[in-house]
Amino acid sequence: MKIIVGVSGASGASLGLKAYDLIPSEHQRFLVISDNARAVLKNEEGYKNDDIAAPIASGSFGADAMLLAPCSMNTLAKIACGIADNLITRAASVMIKEKRRFTIAPREAPFDPIALENMLKLSRVGVIIAPPILCYYADRKTIDDMERFIVGKWFDLLGVKNDLYKRWSGGVNLD
Ligand SMILES: Cc1cc2nc3c(=O)[nH]c(=O)nc-3n(C[C@H](O)[C@H](O)[C@H](O)COP(=O)(O)O)c2cc1C
């Protein structure tokens, strides 16, 4: 598959990069980082967010899936309104119009009603809304374990086979 990973300027940008790093090598991966995320990360990898002419800005590129993690409320609002003023928001609008697998991980606490409405609007056009939610089962012990669980869930949604977390097999230990 061709998979795009977008990273916008919400807290936890390193989690988006981790997801990018963990994409299995049989897939083609493409990274784009917003200027505000880049300012924090100082990361020079991937496409520049103002490179609106990059291949992933076109439907003809044929991306199969996109993960936007984390997604700031700013970028969420733009996508929900159809604004495509940089490479992340343009790639996002392409995924929506081409009806491709698109998972957004909004990151803010708490979510205000505007953000919730934006999420509902996007969910109704087929975007999967999957915030980075912590896991308290499956033997998670470290932050790395927790992050691998979150990334594994995102990969499941994108159709990327993975064994990043132990799947629920039933049974509850009440000891
Ligand atoms: C340290 C830091 C942490 C931030 N965390 C968040 C966050 O968790 N969620 C969010 O929506 N915005 C957060 N912001 C604000 C966004 O960076 C800001 O709205 C920015 O305009 C987003 O730009 P972008 O959507 O182009 O990446 C944070 C800003 C800073 C400086």
Q: Give distance in angstroms: CA of 153 to centre of ligand 1.
A: 23
Tens of pLDDT, residue by residue over 57-112, are 999 999 999 999 999 999 999 999 999 999 999 999 999 999 999 999 999 999 99
| Among 71, 87, 92, 79, residue whose Cα is nearest residue 118 | 79
Give the distance (Å) from ligand 1 centre to CA of residue 25. 30
**pTM score:** 0.91
Domains of the chain: 2-133 (3.40.50.1950)
If pLDDT is split at 50, 70 and 90, which confidence band does 173 have?
low
Q: Is the shortest distance between the CB of 75 and ligand 1 below 6 Å?
A: yes
Q: What is the pLDDT of residues 4-61, one digit of tens each?
A: 999 998 888 889 999 999 999 999 999 999 988 876 665 445 688 888 999 999 999 9
**Ligand 1 atom closest to Cα of 76?**
25
- Residue 25 CA to residue 138 CA, distance in Å, equals 25
Residue with the smallest CA separation from ligand 1 atom 16 is 9
Question: Is the distance from the beta carbon of residue 33 to the nearest atom of ligand 1 less than 6 Å?
Answer: no
Is residue 76 within 8 Å of 106, Cβ to Cβ? yes
Ligand 1 lined by 11 (C-beta under 6 Å) = yes
- Collect all residues with Cβ–Cβ distance below 8 Å to 20 and sequence separation of at least 6: 5, 7, 29, 31
Under the banding of pLDDT at 50, 70 and 90, the label for residue 164 is very high
Find residue 3's DSSP bridge partners. Answer: 29, 65
69 near 106, Cβ under 8 Å? no
The DSSP secondary-structure symbol of 3 reads E
Phi/psi at 166 (5° precision):
-80, 125
